[in-house]
Amino acid sequence: MYEQLRSDLKDAMKAGDDIRKTTLRGLLSACTQELTATGRTPQDTLSEDEVLSVIRREVKRRKDAAEQFRAGGRPELAQSEEAELTILETYLPQMMSREEIEPIVKAKIEALGVTDKSGAGKLIGAVMSELKGKADGSDVKAVVDALLT
């Protein structure tokens, strides 16, 4: 995955795609920061799971930034963040739909014996640990809320 990102950066530079180039440079920089934060050297490489974790973190940052820019009346900056977000999302695996999440949540409700919203946090945590990287947390929360009401 890491090598694919580097290759895609080279392709973006050759094609003159500034948005893709900037996004991939930022992502590779975040990967290097992750390496140094975990006590490794920048010459090491991250595992595929670690790279996906970095990409998810960057996707979340872009979503949050776009929301903040829209709330602050800066739609042109929000569009820039959303363009980067679109590029980053191409590197993530397909997320599960709410319909696919629902049977898993129902099974966890039975297993944990959750009957009302007071156990929602524990339930969401259990489902997210089972679906790590396969489902968006906001979708899991929406399904849990719908089933517990």
Token pair, residue 28, equals 């590779």
127 and 55 belong to one structural domain: no
72 and 124 belong to one structural domain: no
Nearest to 144 by CA among 133, 122, 129: 122
Supply the CATH number for residue 37's domain: 1.10.1510.10
- Name the domain count of the chain: 2
Sign, Cα dihedral of 23, 25, 28, 32: negative
**The Cα angle at residue 15 between residues 11 and 16, in degrees rounded to 5:** 115
13 and 60 belong to one structural domain: yes
DSSP, collapsed to helix, strand or coil, labels residue 39 as: coil
83 and 104 belong to one structural domain: no
Q: How many CB atoms lie within 10 A of CB 73?
A: 8
pTM over 0.75: no
113 and 74 belong to one structural domain: no
> Residue 70 belongs to what domain range?
2-89
- In tens digits, the chain (149 residues) has pLDDT values of 888 998 999 999 999 999 999 999 999 999 999 999 988 888 888 888 889 889 989 999 999 999 999 999 999 999 999 999 999 989 988 888 888 888 888 888 888 887 778 878 888 888 888 887 788 788 888 888 888 87
